[in-house]
Each structure stands twice: as C-alpha cells, then as structure tokens.
Amino acid sequence: MANVTVIGAQWGDEGKGKLVDWLSNRADVVVRFQGGHNAGHTLVVGNQTYKLSLLPSGVVQGKLSIIGNGVVVDPWHLLKEIATLGDQGVMITPDLLVVADNACLILPIHRDLDQAREAAALNKIGTTGRGIGPAYEDKVGRRAIRVADLADREALEAKIDRLLAHHAPLRRGLGLPDVDPAALLAELEAIAPRVLVYARPAWLLLDELVKTGKRVLFEGAQGALLDVDHGTYPYVTSSNTVAGQAAAGSGLGPKGPGYVLGIVKAYTTRVGEGPFPTELFDAVGEHLGTVGREVGTVTGRSRRCGWFDAALVRQSVALNGIAGIALTKLDVLDGLPTLKICTGYRLGDQEISYLPSGLKAQSQLVPVYEEMEGWSGTTQGARSWKDLPASAVKYVRRIEELIGAPVALLSTSPQRDDTILMRDPFHD
C-alpha cells in the first residue's frame, strides 16, 4: 500500500509522534490533517528530545512535511516552533515545510475565548487552552482568516472587522477587553511574510507527488475518542480525528489514507474532563501514571490512567478502518502481578459491547473485566518478539483477538529504535 495514516485509537497520547518519526523513514512526505498546536508529539532520538505540537513529526527526519487545510494554524506558534527546532539543529525551510494556503488561522482572540470559557467553567471541557475550539467555530461560521488572506491587506481588513463584530459581544460577556482592529491587523502584517514563504496549495502539491509514486504518511493528532462526531461529546476536541479526515483535511481524496495504523497504548489514559469507564483511582493507577510518565506534553497536566479498554479500541478499529495497530508502552505494565482488560460494559441490567452515545449512559457504564497474569521480566527496549516474556505475548495476543486487528508494530521504549516490526504498513 502506498500511503499510511497514523491515528490515535484512544484518547490521544498513545505515542503517535515516535511511530510517525520511525515510519517517516519509509515515506516521502508527512502530512498533518486536523487539530492544531493542541497536540503534543515527543520524539526521542539518541540523546535529543524534540517536542512538536504543530509541525508534522517528519520534519525531524528531514522529510517534506505538509500542514494540511484541516489544521488550524497559530502563526505565532508556528514561527516559534520553527525557531526552537532550528536551535536544536533542525533547519526548517520552505523546501521542507508547506502550509496549506487554505488552512484557517488561530488568533489571540481564539485563545482568549477558550481560556475565559474554561475559567468561567461554562461547560468545562478541560481544553488545552490554545484556542482550537473557537478557531474551528469561526471556520465553520465562515468568518475565519485563512493563510492566503495574509497576502491580501484588503481582505484581511474586511475579515478582521467581520470577525471582531462576532467576537466583541462574546468578549464583553466574559469580561474581556475589546480588541483594536488596527492593532490586530498590524500584528498579522508583521508576521505575514515569514508565514507566507511556506504557503502553497497543498492539495495540488500532494496530487503531483502521488502521481509520481511518492509515499504519503498522514499524521493524526489526538485520538478517535476525542473526535467531534464519534468521541465522548462534548468532552472532545473540535476536529474530526478519525482516519477519514486525512482525505478531507489534506485534499487528497478518499483513496489517500491507504493503510490505517491505529496507535494503541497497552493501557488507557485521558486528559481533561469526560467519561472514562476503566479509570483507576488506586495504586495501579498511580503506577501507570508514574512509570508511564503520564503528564501532558502541552499542558503539563497529569493524565488520568486506567486498564486497557478493548471495547473502546474495538469501536475505534471500526470507526477508523484500522488495518493494524502499533502497541505502545507495554513496558509500563512490567512487574504488575495481575492485569485486567475491559471486554465490554454493564449498563443497569444490560450487557453492552460498545460506548453508547448518551453522556448519562457513558457515565453509568460498569466495565466487565477479564483477568490475566502479569510478567516479572522486562519488556523495555525489547527489539524482537522472542525477547518478550510469555505472559506479555499472551497479553498482546488477547488484545488482538478482542479488538479484531493485528499488531503491526510494538514500541518498547520512547527511543526510535526500540520498535518491533511485525508487518510493514507501507507494504501490507
């Protein structure tokens, strides 16, 4: 298969960055297709750690990287991330990075609104506070400023007026000061040339690349359970995070996504508010959080931790058309005497095999667990299947059975090379 789409199959933070970095070796171009700088992708290469939020993880390997139209772009953050990577020796040039000229911008007014709403606890979601939701609201409200507008002062002025007319009453309602349109225009004009050097019709470039046989790696952000349609709404992000979005968020069309690789953590975590049936509040939960270093890359918040939920991932396999999974952080389970896997739920006196859509039903689910023996040896840094303890192999095989998808890759530490390849997504 020529293209591969990597998506998070749970609530994000499954370790997509490492896998995308590893797979980008086999690809010609890496594309982000949704979300914004709410993502936190950590790549560990030798003794260097790279933290990316907006740039596709392929940039670290020097691969052509595209920020697609489905992404919301904070231009100031974009320039900051480019500068930080430059300080680490990764030079980003317009030959390496392309930003879709029809992507919508995140402005300071979006961040203000996001943070003020969270602070006022109006439907507190536990967002990253980076303005993602309000920026998507303006996109679908047809009043957003897009990258291409930065080249057109007249369009920019008119759009700022339109945008501020919408935001002014919202800001007043939340006790935020009015925004001076001239100041916003000046701020945007000041950075416009530095952003526009990367701007191109990304769909056209992708079309040309694919026609000449180039291999595309799509890099999802967040996870399927945070999808605005399919996730635990309203405790979700504001974009479609499922694999199908790779087509619309890049402009490559429905054949684009290719092999869908779901990234799956060997247990479950989530940040922010919302239902989490297998959440643990005991010593095991603490073990997962501490050993797994479950702290958000973007916000520094502790992640909530719980047992592996096979029902959720089974749902994710269906929603995303997952062909195979990459299982990450198995080593975090090293040393736990007993492991539990959730196979479905009980809702009142009903048995249910999937996450229902209603919020009340979601919060009342009681997980049904299957117990398995843990292992005393270590799986950390294993580079071959036969290095794994027998009980660890059994755990992985049971996961495959329950979710209905095979393990294509196994990641055994944050290091790039601690990865066991079972089947190559680019050739499957």
- Please report, as ranges, the residues that interact with ligand IMP according to CB under 6 A: 12-13, 38-40, 125-128, 130, 132-133, 221-222, 226, 235, 237-238, 271-272
**Residue pointed to by tokens 């270093």:** 293
Catalytic-labelled residue, pool 41, 110, 167, 230: 41
Q: β-strands 216-219, 72-73: how paired?
A: unpaired
Q: Is the peptide bond before 234 cis (omega within 30 degrees of 0)?
A: yes
3-class state of residue 304 by DSSP: strand
Distance CA 10, CA 5 (A): 15
Distance CA 64, CA 92 (A): 10
Shortest spacing between CB 82 and ligand IMP, in angstroms: 20
Backbone angles phi, psi at 326, to 5 degrees: -110, 120
CB nearer to ligand IMP: give 65 or 222. 222
- Where do the H-state alpha helices sit in 7-61? 16-24
CB nearer to ligand IMP: give 258 or 272. 272
CB nearer to ligand IMP: give 39 or 392. 39
Shortest spacing between CB 13 and ligand IMP, in angstroms: 5
Strand partners, 326: 263, 409
Distance CA 12, CA 352 (A): 24
Residue 298: CB atoms within 10 A of its CB come to 17
Shortest spacing between CB 298 and ligand IMP, in angstroms: 6
Burial code (b: 16+ CB inside 10 Å, e: under 16) for 186-222 equals eebeeebeebbebbbebbebbeebbeeeebbbbbbbb
Residue 100: CB atoms within 10 A of its CB come to 31
Distances in Å between the Cα of 307 and the Cα atoms of 8, 212, 369 are 17, 45, 9
Catalytic-labelled residue, pool 13, 101, 149, 309: 13
CB nearer to ligand IMP: give 50 or 235. 235
3-class state of residue 138 by DSSP: helix
For residue 230, indicate whether it is catalytic.
Answer: no
Shortest spacing between CB 303 and ligand IMP, in angstroms: 8
CB nearer to ligand IMP: give 136 or 203. 136
Question: Residue of minimal CB distance from ligand IMP?
Answer: 272
Q: Show the tokens assigned to 98.
A: 């392309």
Shortest spacing between CB 288 and ligand IMP, in angstroms: 16
Shortest spacing between CB 108 and ligand IMP, in angstroms: 15
Q: Which helix (H) or strand (E) holds 258?
A: none
Shortest spacing between CB 267 and ligand IMP, in angstroms: 15
For residue 13, indicate whether it is catalytic.
Answer: yes
Shortest spacing between CB 43 and ligand IMP, in angstroms: 14
Phi-psi region of 81 (alpha: psi -120 to 50; beta: other; left: phi over 0): alpha
Long-range CB contacts (within 8 A, 24+) of 133-140: 133/237, 133/238, 134/109, 134/110, 135/36, 135/72, 135/104, 135/105, 135/106, 135/107, 135/110, 135/238, 136/72, 136/104, 136/238, 136/239, 137/238, 138/104, 138/110, 138/163, 138/166, 139/72, 139/104
Residues 14/224, Cβ–Cβ less than 8 Å: no
Positions marked catalytic? 13, 41
